[in-house]
Each structure stands twice: as structure tokens, then as C-alpha cells.
């Protein structure tokens, strides 16, 4: 169903009317994707991200998102780990500003609907 919907958005009459571009990411080998997605003209560009960022790239990213202790990056890191360093800074600032509860499961999400009340 999801593949069908995606193909309708990209190839169907709907795409002619709304003129959209779709960015698709996959965390699996290309061989495991539905062959309909891989037909010519469907996915125009393929870019494979490395599993980890080099030390230099991780430090550059960390600096660009406001992480102050970039010197502690001494090995290649996954992208998520660099952003987690930013989340730690944000969480520390929130504690300094008097936030009195924490929801570790979703503390980095602006979509968290946890209000700190017991159910």
C-alpha cells in the first residue's frame, strides 16, 4: 500500500497537478526495495551516506549546531550521536532554567505530549 501511494504521488495524475518532489531515504540494501521504485525516472539521484562521520566531519557538524565541546570527538561517530551531543546541551540548559521534570524517551522531541503528570 505504501509503495502504491508513493508511486501515485510521484507518477500519477496527482503529481501532474501538485508538482511535488519526493525525497526518499532507505535504511536497507537497494536489492530489498520494491523494483517499481527503482525503475528509470523514479529515483533520480542516489546518495549513500556513510555509517559514521569522520572525526573532522563530526566536529564540523557539532560546531555548526552549537556543540561547544567538540574536542571530545576523538573517533568517527554516527550522525545521531552528534545530534545527541546537542540534545545534552539543550537538556542541561533546560535544567538550569528550572524545568523540573524529564521525559528521557522523548525529551529531544518538540512533539512530546508528556506533561509531567502521573496517569
pLDDT of the residue at 89: 56
In this prediction, residue 19 carries a pLDDT of 72
pLDDT at 16: 65
pLDDT at residue 33 tops 80: yes
pTM: 0.45
Q: Give CA 95 to chain center in angstroms.
A: 25
If one compares 87 and 53, the residue with the highest pLDDT of the two is 53
User: What angle is formed at CA 87 by the lines to CA 28 and CA 81, rounded to 5 degrees?
Assistant: 35
pLDDT tens readout for residues 62-113: 999 999 889 999 999 988 889 888 877 544 444 444 443 434 444 444 444 4
Torsion (CA) 108, 112, 118, 119 in degrees, nearest 10: -140
Amino acid at each position: 500500500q505504501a509503495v502504491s501511494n508513493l508511486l501515485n504521488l510521484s507518477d500519477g495524475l496527482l503529481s501532474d497537478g501538485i508538482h511535488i518532489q519526493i525525497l526518499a531515504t532507505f535504511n536497507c540494501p537497494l536489492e530489498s526495495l520494491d523494483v517499481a521504485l527503482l525503475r528509470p525516472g523514479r529515483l533520480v539521484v542516489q546518495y549513500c551516506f556513510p555509517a559514521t562521520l569522520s572525526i573532522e566531519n563530526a566536529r564540523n557538524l557539532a560546531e555548526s549546531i552549537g556543540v561547544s565541546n567538540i574536542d571530545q570527538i576523538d573517533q568517527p561517530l554516527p550522525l545521531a550521536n552528534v545530534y545527541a551531543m546537542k540534545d545534552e546541551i539543550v537538556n542541561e540548559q533546560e535544567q538550569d532554567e528550572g524545568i523540573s521534570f524529564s521525559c528521557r524517551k522523548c525529551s529531544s522531541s518538540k512533539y512530546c505530549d508528556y506533561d509531567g503528570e502521573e496517569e
